[in-house]
Amino acid sequence: MLGVNARAAVGRFWAPVVAWLLRAGVTADMVTLTGTVGAVAGAVGLIATGHLFWGAFTVTVFVLLDMLDGALARARGGGSVFGAVLDSTGDRAADAAVFGALVWWFSGAGDNRLLVLLALLCLVLGVLTSYIKARAEGMGLSCDVGVVERTERLILVLAGTGFTGLGIPYAVHVGLWVLLVGSAVTVGQRFLAVYRQSRGRSLPAPPSSPPAGLTP
């Protein structure tokens, strides 16, 4: 869970940049949008066309902005509800673009059906990983568990893609296989965490409708 454990170190690393952006009047939402658009463009324009190393490099640069927008929001006194939704939506869009680009390349000129299947499975499991957490937190539960979160997911897929682009054989195979297993374990861990916390709890009853004829 590097995304949680590395937060303090990341904050120290970005501190000078955050201070400069604050003086320049840049907002966290601007950074989020820039990072999302850049990551999607890198995936679609480079990875999907077979430029695997430069695609992985470009996406990595823009994904790093995802660490910066949170630090910038905190420096401004805390993020907004809209900013939180925008950030989560941008994360999902960037992730989908990376795996979608791999599917596009390896189903065409890349010609590797196994990698197409692995990329699709990793994409689905990544969505499930995020959804379980969001749904659990919406129910008032905690779900910060799992061996593979977004940070690990991106490290594995981008490292594998980049090394393949440098000519290292089977690098993307290894990255996607490890990611597939880790993501499946994470989904199981999150379901187990939700099950343990929700035992004995029932859904709140829906509000009752007023009798007919009494509706104001």
- What backbone torsions phi and psi does residue 149 show, to the nearest 5 degrees? -105, -165
Contact 79, 70 (CB under 8 A): yes
- Residue 111 catalytic? no
Q: Which of 29, 66, 69, 91 is catalytic?
A: 91
Sequential DSSP letters for 171-198: HHHHHHHHHHHHHHHHHHHHHHHHHHHH
- What backbone torsions phi and psi does residue 214 show, to the nearest 5 degrees? -105, 0
Looking up tokens 């829906």, which residue turns up? 206
Hey, what amino acid is at 7?
A: R
Extract long-range pairs of 181-184: CB within 8 Å, 24+ residues apart. 182/147, 182/148, 182/152, 182/156, 183/122, 183/125, 183/126, 183/129, 183/148, 183/153, 184/125
Active centre residues (catalytic): 91
